[in-house]
Amino acid sequence: MKGTGCFFALLQALLLLAWARPCVAEVKLHSLPHQPRQGEAFLLQVLSDSPLGSVTGSWRNRTIHFFPGPDRRRFEAILGVDLAQAPGRSLVRVEIRTTGGDRRSLRTPLDVLPVDFPVQRLTLPRRMVTLSRKTLDRVMREKARVSRLFQDLDTKKRWGAGFMPPLQGAVLSPFGARRILNGEPRSPHSGVDLKASEGTPVRASSDGIVALVAEHYFAGKSVYLDHGGGIVSMYFHLSQVRVRQDDRIRKGEVIGLVGKTGRATGPHLHWGVRVAGSRVDPFSVVKIFREEALR
């Protein structure tokens, strides 16, 4: 009898413990694609069987900004692997807080796959390659201006409607191409060059705010759109810009016309995307939304 009493006391204690503890959510981490490649954007999802209070995280010493779905059972973030980031394994850390105030830490390994980027040899007139002191100073100033832009971004998510290419055109120069200019290795191509004739309308890839309108030495007439949550898209070599600084833009709105301003041998659109500063293939961002309709 004594043993039975003990058993019931234990059962009662366990039941009390279960009653007193708030329900612990079943939470899973999911990345799409499962193994991102160098220069690729990817979606990180936190999926829970019950609503969550908050989700924060970090990857490679960078804060991850998660955005909740309407029922707070799903939190999502878009991350990017810079084209020059070394392939291999790193840990994604996520901290969740249930609506009852329970905290939990999750860790998951993430493998970045290597990409053999194509080599592209270009020949340009010497005057376009060898820069004078004055031009170099100008290029440095422009570079600093663009770096500041990436440090001062809107945290509000505006890309809910997904991303689209700014125009339909063949790829003239692919993302990540290792460029050899007049026989000398240069920075890899951080965007894609799309074939289009002068004056073709260039459309905003997603909803956003005009973060910068500029006329830079290399990029020519250019527009930078801040889509929130660390995502920026850029459009270079325009013949005309149709927007102004701080304008709110809708996905698909015409922001300018194709041209060949800056260092360009002919009319085309250079389209680039950065995710938390990482240079990613713009088509990889479009693809995420095709495969997984974000709300």
Q: Which stretch binds Zn ion (CB under 5 A): 63-71, 91-99, 174-182, 191-199?
A: 191-199
* Residue in 241, 215, 210 with CA at minimum distance from that of residue 226: 210
Cβ 94 to Zn ion shortest distance, Å: 35
Residue closer to Zn ion, measured from CB, 37 or 270: 270
Instruction: Note whether 193 and 88 are within 8 A (CB).
Output: no
* Total residues at interface with Zn ion (CB under 5 A): 3
Question: What are the phi and psi torsion angles at 80 (to 5°)?
Answer: -140, 140
Residue 281 is a binding residue for Zn ion (CB under 5 A): no
Q: Which stretch binds Zn ion (CB under 5 A): 20-28, 152-160, 192-200, 206-214?
A: 192-200
Residue closer to Zn ion, measured from CB, 168 or 265: 265
Residue 270 is a binding residue for Zn ion (CB under 5 A): yes
Q: Is 152 helix (H, G, I), strand (E, B) or coil?
A: coil
Residue closer to Zn ion, measured from CB, 191 or 282: 191
Residue 268 is a binding residue for Zn ion (CB under 5 A): no
| Alpha carbons 53 and 97: distance in angstroms, whole number | 5
Cβ 42 to Zn ion shortest distance, Å: 23
Residue closer to Zn ion, measured from CB, 64 or 194: 194
Cβ 82 to Zn ion shortest distance, Å: 17
CB proximity list for 136: less than 8 A, separation 6 or greater: none
The residue whose two tokens read 């810079």 is: 82
Question: What are the phi and psi torsion angles at 85 (to 5°)?
Answer: -70, 135
> In this chain, which of 40, 76, 82, 193 binds Zn ion, going by CB under 5 A?
193
| Alpha carbons 240 and 243: distance in angstroms, whole number | 9
Please give the structure tokens belonging to residue 143. 């570079």
* Residue in 4, 5, 53, 44 with CA at minimum distance from that of residue 25: 53
Cβ 121 to Zn ion shortest distance, Å: 15
Residue 82 is a binding residue for Zn ion (CB under 5 A): no
Binding site for Zn ion (CB under 5 A): 191, 193, 270
